[in-house]
Amino acid sequence: MSQETVLYDAQGPKARRRTAIGTAVAVVVLLALGYVVVQRLIEQNQFSMEKWGPLIDPSNEAFDAVWRLLGIGIVNTVKAAAIAMTLSVVLGTLIAVARLSLGRTGRIPLVGLVELLRGLPVVVLVYFGVRVLPDVGVDLRSWPGGQELWGLVIGLTAYNMVIFAEVVRAGVASLPRGQREAALATGLTNGQTMRIVLLPQAFRVMLPAIISQLVVVLKDTSLVTFVANYDELLSQGESIRRNLDNPIQTFVVVALLYIAINYSLGRLAQYLQARQARQGRPVAAAETLDAENQVPVGGLGGSA
């Protein structure tokens, strides 16, 4: 039993026999399911080299073109995600600091903004960035990357900066009170205390949360497909599908690319969190962070 669980004790001989039987049954059922699916795929001729060749066979004439498209897609996806992430962290920190330093009444408009942006689907915010902004006179077409890239970045940032503001707030709140008190006692101003003492510590605590959120942002870049022509990974997959007419194969490859990137980021976040726990640092009020992570998940809120 690799995993501790509250549901059952270490198993005795009887339970172990039952588990063995259950294992056998599960294997049979899963294999049967797999067989049905594979059989169906064969029937519909989905394993033919005609369908897979362009994706996996370097000697196929379309292979180079397909992977050039996918390569451009990955670069564009990562580019948009990286810019949006950086902006979200910076703006999110500013919002959090403003919220912590304003009085009870002063922060009302800020709280309103946070609630508003958190309640909107990310795809709607991306639409705002790409389509609505030019109509109201914010023309970013002359910027490198054009309206598509920056509209996408604005949409993603609008959503994720408020998520981050919450993460930063939780991070600062998780620090021992003595940190702030000591900093103030040595004569630092409120601003200096925040900048020199609290934020640097909070960021270390928050690092895993930041990386998990990066996964959400990466996934959400694909939303631009519905709004404009920005050649990120999913859009590229979609053009390949239209040309080669092999949706299953193309989207499996596209999904695997996303999974490869996101899974490694997720593992990195887990590793950092485990390391922090080992070193006995406060793990930013684990519960708060978890709940936050779930929201994005939704990410999903945005998340698509």
List contacts with another protein (CB under 8 A): 1, 3-9, 11, 15, 19, 22-23, 26-27, 30, 40-41, 44, 46, 115-116, 119-124, 127-128, 131-132, 135-136, 215, 219-220, 222-223, 225-227, 234, 237-238, 241, 247-248, 251-252, 254-255, 258-259, 262-263, 266, 290-291, 294-304
Q: Which is nearer to another protein, 226 or 271 (CB)?
A: 226
Q: Which is nearer to another protein, 67 or 251 (CB)?
A: 251
CB 54 to another protein: min, Å: 16
Q: Which is nearer to another protein, 266 or 282 (CB)?
A: 266
CB 20 to another protein: min, Å: 9
The answer to whether the CB of 265 falls within 8 A of the CB of 180 is no
Taking the C-alpha atoms of residue 78 and residue 69, their distance in angstroms, rounded to an integer, is 14
The answer to whether the CB of 250 falls within 8 A of the CB of 69 is no
CB 82 to another protein: min, Å: 17
Q: Which is nearer to another protein, 56 or 259 (CB)?
A: 259
Taking the C-alpha atoms of residue 228 and residue 230, their distance in angstroms, rounded to an integer, is 6
Residue 153: closest CA among 110, 217, 214, 96: 217
CB 129 to another protein: min, Å: 11
CB 195 to another protein: min, Å: 31
Angle among Cα 27, 30, 31 to the nearest 5 degrees reads 80
For tokens 């870049």, what's the residue?
A: 221
Helix (H) or strand (E) holding 217: helix 199-220
Q: Which is nearer to another protein, 203 or 251 (CB)?
A: 251
231: left (phi over 0), alpha (psi -120 to 50) or beta: beta
